[in-house]
Structure 1
Amino acid sequence: MDKRALPPLPALRAFEAAARHLSFARAAGELHVTAAAVSHQIKQLEHWLGRALFQRSANGVSLTPAGSDYALRIRDAFERLVSTSCAVRDHQLRPVVKIRTQFSVAALWLTPRVASLSRQRPELEIRVIAAEHRASGAMNADIGIYFQRGELPGHSQQPLLSGPFRAYASPALFGRGRDLRPADVAMLPLLHLSIEDRGWPSPGFADWFEQAGVPVHGPLPGLRFNLAHLAAHAAMLGAGVALLPQDLCEDAVRQGSLLPLPGPALPAPHPYMLMCRTAPEEAVAWVRDALLRDATRPSL
């Protein structure tokens, strides 16, 4: 016999139902066939296996030891077959929207928004992929959020986040009631965002103090981070003042984890762009438009 040959599937269904009910009649009712048909299918299966699965008597049927063991295995196989088939079916029915973006955008801005979008349209499967920018970044996802870099054939690039850099700190660092001046910030611990080594310069505290008219001398001490969400998290913990993109801090300000400090707003040298195919599918277009609308709401 071919080791890959399967027993008759109708006979397996009849056996599983009869073993569960310990009754050919109740199995027949579940399967919408006659008891005689169930009995015939089980005899077929017993012949295929070469051993008895049920003991028949005037009082009804009972499983043989072989039948009891086989019933457990068949039931497990059926459950796995059903769960696997449902998973495949649901995946095919659920539109998938993949969004690839830079780490800090994913952590500080995108995650709360896709959580809201998922509640609005739970039938969508939205996948967030935090990864470094590559020239083909938007090609590996339905939507990409990165700094603009060259042409992407077949894709559009729309400005998404272009707000300025501002100074932020936790209320725990100085208290909510205190009115700080830019000169006071020079006396606080500073958290520097240094991403020049990654090819995308950002304004620093030297620029901020110069714009504020506060003289500072020599290199400014403080912790240094290469990702905005790391500097933002340190600021939330009360470790110091961070100069961060306003768009990425709005949720933390709304929640009271960060406060914007008085002082200049420095233009962002590179806005974040939303990259998407020119003619996307409906689900992708819906997510794209929702993100663009959210980004154009008035800032706090």
Structure 2
Amino acid sequence: MPELPEVETTRRGIEPYLLGRRVEALTVRNPRLRWPIPEDLAIQIEGQCFSAIRRRAKYLLMDIGGGTLISHLGMSGSLRLVSAQTAPGKHDHVDIALDSGMLLRYHDPRRFGAMLWCRAGETHPLLASLGPEPLSDEFDGERLYQCSRGRQMAVKPFIMDNAVVVGVGNIYASEALFAAGIDPRREAGRISRARYQRLAEEVRRVLAHAIQRGGTTLRDFVGGDGKPGYFQQELFVYGRAGDPCKICGRTLSECRLGQRSSVFCRNCQH
């Protein structure tokens, strides 16, 4: 599933090709995504120009005309710029034709993604209750500490809660907890302020580095420019259950937290 670094990589990849460009036509081959594509979307965006390409959590926000086109990549979605002569494939559900002769193409085999519309001045319900961005000044160890008081849930699903902080998905939560030396099974409310400060620093560092490296290569993900990410080779724990820890050499363990697999080192994380 594309996580924050993959979405940010997509945003940076498509932004230069969209800013200032006018939409010539919208083609929807399959409107049945996670939520139906609005029937009047063509009316909203055709003839309008893109003025900004933003990101909030894992949502891409493309300002155009009198509102914002909101896209979520779901489990397997991608947005790419292709030539107008490129024939669509089976899972290419949406094409936005630009005045440059390029197409912004939405590809999604599992159709768990979204393409929604929000009028200017309004806040879409999907964005209304989100916590701070992990790379912003609003996110720090003190916030994690205060939000965690009285919480009995494990720390890993706690930092993956979008009301606490957005965009810390399974891959990067695992990596940040390993770097901070915190067992993902530990009760969130029993972790000290000092350890949360270290964890917040590692969340920021891991995400920033992953963005710099182009995100993590997943089976179904390609970036906006068609290039894969290059962070996967640097993973310490995610997807490495049974392998030796890169720090101490002991075998990595695996458990399930919040219905997700979690890999950790019993020696390095406590």
Q: TM (normalized to structure 1)?
A: 0.21
Structure with higher helix content: 1
Q: TM (normalized to structure 2)?
A: 0.23
Bigger radius of gyration among the two: 1
